[in-house]
Copies of this chain bind each other. A is one copy, B any other.
Amino acid sequence: MTDQLSSGDRSAACDELFKTLSDGTRRALLEYLVKEGEQSVHALTAISAVSQPMVSRHLGKLKRARLVTARRAGRETYYSARVKGLAPVVQWMAIYGALWSQRFTALEELAEPA
């Protein structure tokens, strides 16, 4: 129980989540799925700046991180965003404790464009 630092399990989930989210192309794919709903690989390739195999691999990583789900229909595969997959990240944010809940609005304002 001496997990003062390396909380060896939950930390692994955060590792994968943060690493997955650290790529702009993957975040763009995820954003698109969140905004537009279920999309085929073909459609996602169309809006991406990289090749179709790369899109497939990015989607594979998103799927492995449980940030998307895949549904196969005929020769097409439809991917959907899975928001709940962000839970470990949200939980990690809780290390900021009061800072988080109390200053959330402050951060929100700070984050506002104009």
Contacts and interface: CB of A to CB of B under 8 A. Distances in A.
Interface in A61-111: 83-84, 86-88, 90-96, 99, 103-104, 107-108, 110-111
Interface residues of A, number: 42
B96 A84 contact: no
A110 B83 CA distance: 12
Mostly helix, strand, loop or mixed at chain A's interface?
Answer: helix
Contacts of A87: 107, 110-111
A75 B83 CA distance: 47
Contacts of A110: 84, 87
Given A4-B47, A87-B107, 17 more contacts: A5-B31, A5-B32, A5-B47, A14-B24, A18-B18, A18-B19, A18-B22, A19-B19, A21-B22, A83-B96, A84-B107, A86-B93, A86-B107, A90-B104, A90-B108, A90-B111, A91-B111
